[in-house]
Amino acid sequence: MPLTYLKQAPGQAPQAEADVADTVQVMLGRLRAGGAQVALEYARDLDGWTGEITVNPERIARAEAQVPVDLRDDIRWAHDNISRFAAAQRATARDMEVELRPGLIAGQRQIPLSAAGCYVPGGRYAHIASALMSIATAREAGVADITACSPPRGDAGIPAPMLYAMHLAGATRILCMGGVQGVAAMAFGLFGAPPADILVGPGNAFVAEAKRQLFGPIGIDMFAGPTDSLVLADDTANPDTVATDLVGQAEHGATSPVWLASTSRPLAEAVLARIPALIAELPAPNRDAAATAWRELGEVALCDTREEMARHADARAPEHLHVQATDLPWWRDRLSAYGSLFLGSGTTVAFGDKAAGPNHVLPTSGAARYTGGLSVHKFLKTVTWQQVTPQGLPDLARVSARISREEGMEGHARSADIRLDSATPMADIAANSKG
């Protein structure tokens, strides 16, 4: 049956404007041609920063001393969870070898990338957790060289807690530079960094567009849009908890949609009634962002059954999917399209955003239909190899030659034929195969 909406968004979240793409294209062109000098000009003109770009060890040490002991302990606690989860993921990515037929051997290797660029957003919030999520994950994957960059905040540069987190997580070097110029510095190998093999980490529309335009020769984690969250709740959920969770995610920004689907009309109506007061209690900048996101993009839908809720969630493919309902194993096994799944009322997306362990860099705008979030696997190349011995050669060569000729690829066929007809003694082939 069609969903019944108690609140429906007037329209969709706005898409990136064409002038963002044009601006980024011009900037990247200048940065590619002019290198570090152009990057310095953008840092001066856009961020007002004329200080050193590469953060030296003395500044990092001062930053650590400036961070209160309790906060340092909290950052280390979160870092330990994130690193341990990434290490457990890394253990699942293994080399393997299989003999497909007698004498035909194939396998795969997991090779870490050589260099990664991790963008740590600044701006309105000090994104301590984002530093841990990207840098620590790259480090656990085995990436040898990790450049991290973040925009300066005033004359002090990168805030001390963020610097501490970036260093703790394992950055090889830290650049005090944000925006398109920061992304380009990592991509093109400026300020002493090697050119990045992959660029990861969230950012504003200009950062996301820069990553999109650079993608191809350089890998990226994903095409990221505004964060989004969906709560699924039945009549056992607490309306205050559900409303608080929705408001908490809406404060990300005015373009960040939050949604509720429920089988309980009383719960849904209670959540609707509570949200305005909760938004009003937020500090001013957060309040304005959450109010706009809820007014323009928030939705509350009624479903007849839990299966209908699950189908709705799979169709939405949200970045964050939070289940506050009974029979959590059913939901865990049934749901199939989300960036990260949060099970039970004791869990909250905020835990995943900050300290729980699984990565918070996740697919948005429905991309969870085909991809997961940032993980050690993004920093690994799964490459394959193959080898044939004299025992496996005859059948493989004959089959390959016949298929090649059927396709009209005579050169391929002859590459197979020569291995059957060559004067090279089979003993030589056998000796080479053992080497």
Residue 145: other Cβ atoms inside 10 A = 17
- The answer to whether the CB of 361 falls within 8 A of the CB of 330 is no
Which stretches in the chain have pLDDT values below 70? 1, 11-16, 125, 422-435
Q: Give the pLDDT of residue 327.
A: 98
Using left for φ > 0, alpha for ψ between -120 and 50, and beta otherwise, residue 434 falls in alpha
336-374, pLDDT tens digit by residue?
999 999 999 999 999 999 999 999 999 999 999 999 999
Q: Give the pLDDT of residue 40.
A: 98
Residue 149, H or E segment? strand 145-150
Q: How many domains does the chain have?
A: 3
Q: Which residues are catalytic, by number?
A: 319-320
**Total-model pTM:** 0.91
102, part of any domain = no
Indicate whether 311 and 427 sit together in one domain.
no
The CATH number of residue 297's host domain is 3.40.50.1980
For residue 51, which of 157, 158, 185 has the smallest C-alpha distance?
A: 157
Indicate whether 200 and 147 sit together in one domain.
yes
Q: Give the pLDDT of residue 1.
A: 63
Q: Give the pLDDT of residue 15.
A: 54
Indicate whether 145 and 251 sit together in one domain.
no
Indicate whether 171 and 294 sit together in one domain.
no
Indicate whether 213 and 335 sit together in one domain.
no
Q: Give the pLDDT of residue 420.
A: 86
For residue 126, which of 144, 94, 147, 153 has the smallest C-alpha distance?
A: 153
- The answer to whether the CB of 231 falls within 8 A of the CB of 261 is yes
210, part of any domain = yes
Per DSSP, the three-state class of 286 is helix
CB burial string 284-314: b at 16+ within 10 A, e below: eebbebbbbbbebbbbbbbbeebebbbbbbb
- Tracing tokens 């770009």 back to the chain, one arrives at 53
223-245, pLDDT tens digit by residue?
888 999 999 999 999 999 999 99
71, part of any domain = yes
